[in-house]
Amino acid sequence: MSDEQTGGKSHMADAAIRIEGLRKTYRGGKGQPEKQALKGIDLTVPRGSVFGLLGPNGAGKSTLINILAGLVVKSSGQVSIWGFDQDQYPRQSRAAIGVMPQELNLDPFFTPRGALEVQAGLYGVPKSERRSDEILELVGLSDKAEAYARTLSGGMRRRLLLAKALVHHPKVLVLDEPTAGVDIELRQMLWTNVRKLNEQGMTIILTTHYLEEAQEMCDEIAIINHGEKVAQDSTANLLGRMDSRTMVILPDNPIADLPSAAGVEAALRDDGNLVLTYRSTQTSAEQVLEAVRQADIRIRDVRTEEADLEDVFLALTSSQVDAPVDDQDQPRRGIHRVKL
């Protein structure tokens, strides 16, 4: 065993990924200002987990992923992959990770099998250990093994990108927005494979801007926004912290009195809708509806409002989330509509 390997292994004990103080500033140019895409991120991804990196467009997810993949050079900070510091042990850290990028960057002149062979060559996988056919089978591309990449549909190209990320049997598989704009079949293929690979021991990191997706797939979630980490916790704990609910009722009769009940905020919107916010851990939907009946309000329609990530950030970062809505001009401000 070489010194390099021993050195790496001496601190391999714990995490799949460890990131400390990671910063990235993209240089400006052609009239563009510089951009601080990552502003000092600390992040630890446990081994064996399905880990979600959640954040809206522009949050810095791909920048972080591409730094892990060695495709973007960080400005400062430390990154280690499977215990190997990226700067000290570039080869080992790269070998430990496979990345399915967000962008479809395929050489149009390769067939899927050819692309996998080239990728395996790049990673120094010996011929005897190559499993191109098995991987093509896994991603459902067996019958396209000899088709040129340029003739593949968008969905098939994504499958091929996943296949390429797997050729060197990485410890950590990273999927950058794998389901953005894909059809249901491909989405199911991805999730089936993610679960299967995770059961076989692979650590999975996926980025998404869909809360539901992170919630469905991940054991642990980190949320980033504007290049900063807003929260990191087990999915269960995170959801527990986001127990706010909003019920919107279209009344069938003029409202004389707003419903009142402990733990329920009621406000009437300009559009005539009655907006009720409450915490699901303290108040049940039934109690909210009972308060509405008590106020002699008949319900023509009722719905809950969709969560969006901004609301989640508000819920996680603002100490004022429980403040009553007092600004009638902007009745939706301060209402967090986290529906989980």
Ligand X SMILES: Nc1ncnc2c1ncn2[C@@H]1O[C@H](COP(=O)(O)OP(=O)(O)O)[C@@H](O)[C@H]1O
Q: Which residues are at the interface with Mg ion (CB under 5 A)?
A: 61-62, 102
- Counting Cα atoms < 13 Å in the Cβ hemisphere of 67 gives 27
Each residue 67-106 as x (binds ligand X by CB under 6 A) or -, in order, gives ----------------------------------------
Task: For ligand X, give the closer residue by CB, 221 or 267.
Answer: 221
Please choose, out of 52-60, 104-112, 188-196, 211-219, the segment that lies near ligand X by the rule CB under 6 A.
52-60
Q: Which residue's Cβ has the minimum distance to Mg ion?
A: 62
| Binder of ligand X out of 58, 114, 140, 263 (CB under 6 A) | 58
CA distance 43 to 233: 11
Residues from 20 through 49 that contact ligand X (CB under 6 A): 26, 35, 37
DSSP state of 306: P
In the chain the beta strands, taken as DSSP E runs, fall at: 15-26, 35-46, 50-54, 76-81, 84-85, 97-100, 172-176, 203-208, 220-225, 228-234, 244-251, 265-268, 274-279, 299-304
Contact 21, 74 (CB under 8 A): no
Q: What number of residues does the chain have?
A: 340
Shortest approach of ligand X to residue 41 CB, angstroms?
Answer: 11
Task: For ligand X, give the closer residue by CB, 101 or 259.
Answer: 101
Please choose, out of 59-67, 85-93, 122-130, 257-265, the segment that lies near ligand X by the rule CB under 6 A.
59-67
Contact between 178 and ligand X by CB under 6 A: the answer reads: no
Contact between 62 and ligand X by CB under 6 A: the answer reads: yes
DSSP state of 253: S
Task: For ligand X, give the closer residue by CB, 25 or 287.
Answer: 25
Edge-to-edge strand list for the sheet holding 203-208: 97-100, 172-176, 203-208, 50-54, 220-225, 228-234
CA angle 75, 77, 80 (to 5 degrees): 120
| Binder of ligand X out of 5, 57, 88, 105 (CB under 6 A) | 57
* 111, 116, 120, 123: CA torsion to nearest 10: 100
Please choose, out of 51-59, 117-125, 164-172, 269-277, the segment that lies near ligand X by the rule CB under 6 A.
51-59
Task: For Mg ion, give the closer residue by CB, 65 or 266.
Answer: 65
* Residue 158 phi, psi (nearest 5): -65, -40
> Which residues contribute to the site for ligand X (CB under 6 A)?
26, 35, 37, 55, 57-63
